[in-house]
Amino acid sequence: MNEERRLIYHYLRHDKKFPHVWCPGCGNGIVLGSLIRTVHALGLSKDEVVLVSGIGCAGRLPVYVDFNTLHTTHGRALTFATGIKLAKPHLKVIVIMGDGDATAIGGNHLIHAARRNVDLTAIIVNNNIYGMTGGQSSPTTPHGLRASTSPYGHAEHAFDIARLVEAAGASLVARGTIYHVNLLDKLFQRAMEKVGFAVVEVISHCPTHFGKLNFLGDAVESMRWMAEHAVAVERAKKMRPEELQGKFRIGVLVDRDMPDYQSEYEKVRKRAMEGVPYRIDPQEISKMLESHQIY
């Protein structure tokens, strides 16, 4: 066994009967590998990591790894993760979701977790489709393409997940692909190190459904497509808009320091414990309103 495989082996659950549920060529295994390398690189203990997922092919990821693992309900993983993190702030809570899981049924939880800036790492595996249930359209299915429920071409337009969570208030927003694995390791690391809500959108694929329905070839071909269309953010800055046409940016897209939910709630606890009524100076109120730069 080479070193890499030995490392992965150390984190897998051997009492869980393999083989896993994923199709040959699926991107989920690559995401899992990256996740394990990142946890290892950060020196996190298995005991302090909680891996939470929703329902879908991506949602099956936690069961294979030897952390505290929680496979929740479709779309709601972030709500369980919020409860865990607030109850036991020392735990490193990582949430893994599919694109349908995170942005359709779980879209409300996604924007609110971002707005609250709960200290969580959210990994969204975007394969543009509902994999587990057989290739139905998702909120990230591109306009005009086919899905098992869009046989005449998809009439809707897709979410840009990164811009969605940026607008909602996430502290860190990154995008990677299952082709650029070294970058993915780095993005996972940045997200896990970040205090606050950190999102990594992983551009993945589903050769079984999305690939087949849209004549995209096998897993290798679709990864080649990723290689040809992804542009590192650093390089994108130097490119003209025409050159960026049809490409997508990968790397850390947003990184900003904002107080996370726990540290804000700690202030609430302190006030409550001191037992003095919370009064705000009228001048402070106008300052607070002014700094509320939404409009």
Residues 177-216 touching ligand SF4, rule: CB under 6 A, are: 206-209
Task: Report 150-209 residues binding another protein (CB under 8 A).
Answer: none
Give residues 138-177 in contact with ligand TPP (rule: CB under 6 A): 138
Q: Which of 30, 36, 80, 103 is in the footprint of another protein by CB under 8 A?
A: 80
By the rule CB under 8 A, 6 interacts with another protein: no
Verify binding: residue 127, ligand TPP, rule CB under 6 A: yes
Would you count residue 42 as binding another protein (CB under 8 A)? no
By a kind-dependent CB cut-off of 5 to 8 A, residue 186 interacts, out of another protein, ligand SF4, ligand TPP, none, with none
Q: Are 156 and 3 contacting, i.e. CB atoms less than 8 angstroms apart? A: no
The residue (of 256 and 271) whose beta carbon lies closer to another protein is 271
Question: What are the residues facing 123 on neighbouring strands?
Answer: 96, 200
CB contact at 8 A, 168 and 115: yes
Nearest to 203 by CA among 51, 183, 282, 152: 183
100 interacts with ligand TPP by CB under 6 A:
yes
Choose the contact partner of 207 out of ligand SF4, ligand TPP, another protein, none; CB within 5 to 8 A by kind: ligand SF4
What minimum distance in Å lies between the beta carbon of 124 and ligand SF4? 13
Contact partner at residue 269 from ligand TPP, ligand SF4, another protein, none, CB < 5 to 8 Å by partner kind? another protein
Mark the segment that binds another protein (CB under 8 A) among 9-17, 32-40, 181-189, 226-234. 9-17
Tokens of 61: 């990821």
- By C-beta, is 86 or 231 nearer to another protein? 86
Residue 198 sits at the vertex; the CA angle it makes with 270 and 177, to the nearest 5 degrees, is: 170
Q: Which residues of 89-100 are buried (b: 16+ CB within 10 A; e: fewer)?
A: eebbbbbbbbbb
How many C-beta neighbours within 10 Å does residue 197 have?
Answer: 31
Stretch that binds another protein, among 40-48, 128-136, 156-164, 176-184 (CB under 8 A): 40-48
Q: How far is the CB of 150 from ligand SF4 (least distance, A)?
A: 16
Q: Which is nearer to ligand SF4, 57 or 203 (CB)?
A: 57
Is 251 a binder of ligand SF4 (CB under 6 A)?
no
Of 275, 279, 281, 291, the residue at the interface with another protein (CB under 8 A) is 275
Nearer to another protein, 86 or 254 (CB): 86
Residues 6 or more apart in contact with residue 295 via CB below 8 angstroms: none
- Count of CB atoms situated within 10 Å of the CB of 246: 7
Q: Which of 59, 75, 107, 131 binds ligand SF4 (CB under 6 A)?
A: 131
The CA dihedral of 124, 261, 41, 190, to the nearest 10 degrees, is: 60
Residue 12: φ, ψ to 5°? -85, 155
CB of residue 68 vs another protein: minimum separation in angstroms? 4
Residues that bind ligand TPP (CB under 6 A): 55-58, 74, 98-101, 125, 127, 129-133, 138
